[in-house]
Every structure is written in C-alpha cells, then in structure tokens.
Amino acid sequence: MKATKRHKNRKGAFICFCVLCAFLWLSLAHAQNSYQAALTIRLDQPGAVINRNIYGHFAEHLGRLVYEGLWVGEDSPIPNTRGLRNDVVVALKELHVPVLRWPGGCFADEYHWRDGIGPRDKRPRRPNASWGGVDTNAFGTHEFLDLCEMLGADAYINGNVGSGSPQEMMEWIEYMTSDAGTDLANLRRKNGRDKPWKIPYFAVGNETWGCGGNMRPEFYADVYRQYATFIKNHSDNKIQKLAVGGYDENYNWTEVLMSQAAKYMDGLSLHYYTLPTGNWQKKGSATEFGENEWHATLVRTLRMDEYIRKHSAIMDKYDPQKRVGLLVDEWGTWYDSDPGRDMGALYQQNTLRDALVAGINLNIFNKHADRVRMANIAQMVNVLQAMVLTAKEKMLLTPTYHVFRMYRVHQGATMIPVELNAPEYKLNEASAPSLHASASRDSAGRLHLSVVNLDPNRSSDITVTIAGGAIRSVTGEVLTASAMNAMNTFEASNAVKVAPFSGYKLSGSRLTLNVPSKSVVVLELK
Ligand code: AHR
C-alpha cells in the first residue's frame, strides 16, 4: 500500500513539474514573441470633434469603378436599383459613407456635365482622355446624386477648370440646386428630378498643378478667385467652396493659396499617396512582398502626419482661427498595376498591409481633427485602395473595407488624445513606431480606442491607463491574418475577416491588452 502511495506522490510531483515547465516555456515563448507598451487615454484633455467627413470616399470615372463597380444599368442581369448595383450599395451602406467625391480626379477637368443628363440613349459617347476607353455618360449628375441619396452621403463635386469655364460651372450648380422657375431648374425637372438637390461641397478643379492644367500657384490663386465668385447659393443650398491644394511636401502651393485666396475658400485640399518604394516608375507589388516592403510602406504612410502638420502650420499663419479646413481628398496606397491588367484602370488587390495603412491614416486624421475636416480615400470600388472589388456579378470586401467599418464609431465623436510608450519597429535602418492609436468619445459617452500593431512578428502587451475617467466594460473587434499579404479573393472571400477581440483583462481599474502582431483592433470602453 505504502509503495503505491509513494509511487502516486512521485507521479503527482512529476506532473506538477511538467506543468510548471510548460508554463515557463510558454511564458518565455510569449515574452520573445511580444513586446511591452503603455498607452494613456487622456480623457481629461478632450480635443476637437472628428468631422465625419474624414471617413469620406472618392469615385472617379476610371477603370471599372463607375461602370461595373457602381453602375450596371437598369437592364443588367446583376440585381440593381435604377441601374446601381444592389450588392455594392448594400455593402457601402454599412460604412456610413458621409461624403462622396465625384467625378474626379483628373477626369473632372475634362468632364462636361451636360453630356451626362437627359435620356441615356441620347447621351454622347466621349473618350476618357485621362484614363482611356469610352465613357458612355450613362452615369451622370442624376445617377451620382441618386447614389448619394441611397448611401445617405453628402455630395462633393469637383468642377471643371482645366477645360471648362466659370459659366459652365455656374450653370451646373444652378441646374442641381435651384428651386426657381428658371430654364435650367425646369430642365432638371424635365429630366425627372423635381426637388433641387443639396450640394454642400464644390471644388474649383483638381490637381491644377498637374493634370488639371499645369498651373503655377500664383496663377491658380487668381483662377480660383475668379471661379469661386461664380459659385452661387440657390434656394436654401449652402455651398462650401474648396480650392485645390498641394501634395506631399509642396508647401509653397499652400503658402501661395493661403496668402492670396484664403478668404474666398472654405477648404484647401492635400493629396498624398503611399507607394512602397516612393518611386512612381516602380511603385511595388500589391500582393507580392516581404517584410522589407511591409516596413517601407508603413514608414511611408506615416509621413501623412508630417505633411498634415506642416501644411497646417502654414494655414495657421493666415487662418489662426482654423476657419478653412484641410481636406485630404485623395489618399491611400498606389501599387504597380496587377500584371496582365490594363495599366490605365488602376485596379489593385488589397491585403492586410492595406488594412494597416488605412488604420494608421485614420488615426492620423482623427488626431488632427482640429484642421482636417474631410478625407477621401482613393478610391471606392475597383481602383487603388478600394473598399470593394468586383468581377462582373461577383463582389468581395477588402481588408480596407473592414477597417472603415470598424472605425466608423469615430465619426462625429470628440477626439481624445492618446500617449503611447512603445518600442520602435526598426528595419534596414528605418524606424516606425510599433504601435499607432487614436481614441474618441461619442455623444453617448462611450470611449472608442483604435490600435494598430505594425510589428508583423510580435504581439503587444499594452497596459492602458485612462486619465480622468474609469471604465467597467470592454468589447471590441480585431482584424488580422496569418500572412502579411493575406487578401480576400473571389475564390476565398473571407480569408481576412473581423473577429471578436478577447485579448483583454480588466480587473478593477487595471486594463491590459494583448494585441496580435500585424493587426488592427477597435475597442469600445464603457
Ligand atoms: O486617384 C487617381 C488620380 O490620382 C486622380 O485622378 C488624380 O487626381 C491623382 O493624381
């Protein structure tokens, strides 16, 4: 009996020893595959309201964006409502799209609005001189504004400066917004729309330093002043007038526009695209990349913060009250076109890397909510960093789509500053923070925290402190995948998907998070 008992004790001790070893081994493995960080949410220092338009979109007549991506026509076998495809509209509605920019882009400066009204079979077919192919003009003013109404989005229209005139611009605005008994308002009625539309945002051209006319800033400042004079408010429509701003480090453009035309504008744009290489001749692949390209892309996208800070500082000199908004109305990744595809179409796949780019940029815009009043990712469907990709009747949601869906909670909330203490993520002598975050508090008092872990190899153990508040509950979602270049395809459309986030511990006032490597997490703290 005694021998059996001793044997049992030994066996028990051995099991305990094994469990302890396993525990130590797991702890060591975890320590090697994770890094420590501290994050403070400054609830005691609320900032500006995050304009919901920061979550805006952009749809240009380019590639398969408008035709196929949005518009299939009333006779299409693809289910549609008045010609707009139902699957895409349903998906986009989930994003709470606040504002939609149209018709370009470069295309805006060659677009003549009269081509796109009236019976569709009578509309002229025109070359799309910017991006190739023929535009049937089946999608024009009425179809665009119908789409905005379906999505519940405000319309942002880019007028034609490059090949148009102040008169053409002025008449387009009257056609859309006048409730009077004028010929143009009556023409709109004859074309099927009785009530005028609201057009809250109208821009004088696009990239007038490039495809919109290759102008010098001094020249455009005068052109802007002239055109802006003829942007009139009809009935009770109130238009915010927007001027073309600079790109990247083109600070002189901002300086000239602000010094010479600030008082005539409500907003000034900024364009910045993220290229893995920074080289427009060889931008890099959308899907075939390793950690070098992953890191380089994230380092480059983080430059958005510097550009916003520096352009804002110039705006502050001329507009210290921050009346004029900075509108990042084109941003996102731009890769080499997929091999075998039409170069002009700018179709590209979208991976987990794009999801992180989206999360980082949206965090940056949230942070600068005092000056950044709108941002429009380029572009909505089938072009550049798209939300949705289509292949005829098929449709898929990209990783970027999921980030926009997760981040929609920040729309209209108050920006809450966050302080981060995390190691740098270094590679090839370049450095990026390994964590990136933003927070906001909505009108119901809920706190929203979004965290991006840039490190593709290590999860992050984060100790969260809430300065000036306390929480009792945490819920959240996480977007990640096993590979950096994981993507959704028409064959496997759910490879990158959102999952509930369970990597938190809340005991009393102590909150700790374990955020997976290469992930985007959005939490609601109450
Ligand atoms: O988004 C694609 C193009 O990029 C736009 O037409 C133009 O404004 C920019 O150069």
Interstrand relation of 372-378 and 325-333 (parallel, antiparallel or unpaired): parallel
| Lowest pLDDT segment from 23-32, 295-304, 454-463 | 23-32
User: Which pLDDT band, with edges at 50, 70 and 90, does 197 fall under?
Assistant: very high
What is the rounded CA–CA span in Å between residue 183 and residue 179? 11
What tens digit of pLDDT does each residue of 491-525 get?
999 999 999 999 999 998 899 999 999 999 999 99
**Beta carbons within 10 angstroms of residue 339's beta carbon:** 7
Interstrand relation of 414-416 and 435-441 (parallel, antiparallel or unpaired): antiparallel
Residue nearest to atom 8 of ligand 1 (CA): 105
What is the rounded CA–CA span in Å between residue 431 and residue 440? 27
- Chain centre to alpha carbon of residue 9: 62
Residue 163 tokens read as 């090949």
What tens digit of pLDDT does each residue of 374-389 get?
999 999 999 999 999 9
Active-site position among 110, 171, 174, 330: 330
Q: Which amino acid is located at 87 in the chain?
A: D
What tens digit of pLDDT does each residue of 78-126 get?
999 999 999 999 999 999 999 999 999 999 999 999 999 999 999 999 9
Catalytic, 306? Answer no
Ligand 1 in reach of 110 Cβ (< 6 A)? no
User: Which pLDDT band, with edges at 50, 70 and 90, does 30 fall under?
Assistant: low
Before 103, cis peptide (omega within 30)? yes
Please identify, by atom number, the ligand 1 atom nearest to the C-alpha of residue 60.
6
Residue 5 has pLDDT above 60, yes or no: no
Segment 438-449 mean pLDDT: 97
Residue 1: what pLDDT? 43
User: Which pLDDT band, with edges at 50, 70 and 90, does 259 fall under?
Assistant: very high
Residue 338: what pLDDT? 72
Q: Which amino acid is located at 201 in the chain?
A: Y
Q: Which of 329, 355, 348, 341 is nearest to 283 (CA)?
A: 348
Residue 318 has pLDDT above 80, yes or no: yes
Centre of ligand 1 to C-alpha 105, Å, is 5
Residue 233 tokens read as 């408010």
User: Which pLDDT band, with edges at 50, 70 and 90, does 6 fall under?
Assistant: low
What is the rounded CA–CA span in Å between residue 372 and residue 308? 8
Ligand 1 in reach of 378 Cβ (< 6 A)? yes
What is the rounded CA–CA span in Å between residue 389 and residue 380? 9
User: Which pLDDT band, with edges at 50, 70 and 90, does 337 fall under?
Assistant: confident
Q: Which residue, chain included where needed, has tokens 């504004």?
A: 145
Residue 437 has pLDDT above 50, yes or no: yes
What is the rounded CA–CA span in Å between residue 23 and residue 16? 10
Centre of ligand 1 to C-alpha 60, Å, is 8
Residue 53: what pLDDT? 98
Please give the share of the chain, as a percent, with pLDDT higher than 90: 92
In this structure, the chain runs to a length of 526
Residue 431: what pLDDT? 97
Before 105, cis peptide (omega within 30)? yes
Segment 291-301 mean pLDDT: 98
Please identify, by atom number, the ligand 1 atom nearest to the C-alpha of residue 273.
4
**pLDDT higher at 28 or 371:** 371
Residues 6+ away with beta carbon under 8 Å from 65 = 59, 379, 380, 381, 382, 383, 386
Residue 29: what pLDDT? 52
What is the rounded CA–CA span in Å between residue 503 and residue 9? 37
User: Do residues 389 and 85 touch, judged by C-beta distance below 8 A?
Assistant: no
Centre of ligand 1 to C-alpha 30, Å, is 44
Ligand 1 in reach of 141 Cβ (< 6 A)? no
**Beta carbons within 10 angstroms of residue 228's beta carbon:** 21
What is the rounded CA–CA span in Å between residue 67 and residue 128? 12
Centre of ligand 1 to C-alpha 44, Å, is 40
Catalytic, 429? Answer no
What tens digit of pLDDT does each residue of 122-154 get?
999 999 999 999 999 999 999 999 999 999 999
Residue 345 tokens read as 């179409």
Q: Edge-to-edge strands of the sheet including 447-453?
A: 414-416, 435-441, 447-453, 519-525, 474-479, 498-500
Active-site position among 207, 249, 393, 424: 207
What is the rounded CA–CA span in Å between residue 95 and residue 478? 17
Residue 281 has pLDDT above 50, yes or no: yes
What is the rounded CA–CA span in Å between residue 256 and residue 161? 19
Residue 11: what pLDDT? 66
Q: Which residue, chain included where needed, has tokens 């490597």?
A: 517
Residue nearest to atom 3 of ligand 1 (CA): 105
What is the rounded CA–CA span in Å between residue 189 and residue 107? 27
Q: Which amino acid is located at 429 in the chain?
A: E
109-137 burial, b if ≥16 CB within 10 A, otherwise e? bbbebbbbbbebeebeebebebbeeebbb
Helix (H), strand (E) at residue 393: none
Interstrand relation of 430-433 and 394-397 (parallel, antiparallel or unpaired): unpaired
Residue nearest to atom 5 of ligand 1 (CA): 105
Centre of ligand 1 to C-alpha 384, Å, is 10
Q: Which of 103, 95, 96 is nearest to 58 (CA)?
A: 103
Average pLDDT taken over every residue of the chain: 95
User: Do residues 185 and 179 touch, judged by C-beta distance below 8 A?
Assistant: yes
Residue nearest to atom 4 of ligand 1 (CA): 105
Residue 298 has pLDDT above 80, yes or no: yes
Residue nearest to atom 9 of ligand 1 (CA): 105
First to last CA, the chain: 59
Residue nearest to atom 7 of ligand 1 (CA): 105
Residue 271 has pLDDT above 60, yes or no: yes
What is the rounded CA–CA span in Å between residue 248 and residue 254? 11
What is the rounded CA–CA span in Å between residue 487 and residue 489? 6
Residue 18: what pLDDT? 56
Centre of ligand 1 to C-alpha 387, Å, is 17
Residue 22 has pLDDT above 60, yes or no: no
Ligand 1 in reach of 293 Cβ (< 6 A)? no
Task: State the DSSP code for 410.
Answer: G
Q: Which of 107, 211, 274 to mutate to test the pocket of ligand 1 (most atoms within 8 A of CB)?
A: 211
